[in-house]
Structure 1
Amino acid sequence: MANHKSSLKRIRQEETRRLHNRYYGKTMRNAVRKLRATTDKAEAVAMYPGITKMLDKLAKTNVIHKNKANNLKSKLALYINKLA
């Protein structure tokens, strides 16, 4: 157990941040899954900008790595282009 007031506060802050990051990470994964499950090109094209924005925001706040965000955006764009 922690011995200092500052370390107790740090533990509380880390738990809050962990839950926050976990929520937004899960939301992002669900959005990516939803786009990948879509077979309609028009619907996928409409969803893509929102997901791109979400990925960029999460990369900016270090919830995910910037390269991961770019890789996901690239793969989703390829998926959308392959839809007939």
Structure 2
Amino acid sequence: MTAPALWHLYLLECRDGSWYAGITNDLDARFKAHAAGRGAKYTRGNPPVRILASRVYPDRASASRAEWQLKRQPRARKLAWLQAQPEA
């Protein structure tokens, strides 16, 4: 039996200095898709340059809840908030 896929909440730094947050169950593939212009609409116009941080969650629902919380943080606290979250 295959283990269930883990989900990642990630924060990208884009070429224009902005940040983009999202979730995925394959972080490397998702970053490559964003970089190639096949990711979210936002990153098509603002390509990512690197992954600032990511955190693993056991399922999509918990990753989505964490993404919602992250997106409500002021920019100055987003990176610290994501890095300080306990393991799910």
More strand by share: 2
Same fold, TM exceeding 0.5? no
Taking structure 2 as the reference length, what is the TM-score of the superposition? 0.25
Q: Which has the larger radius of gyration?
A: 1
More helix by share: 1
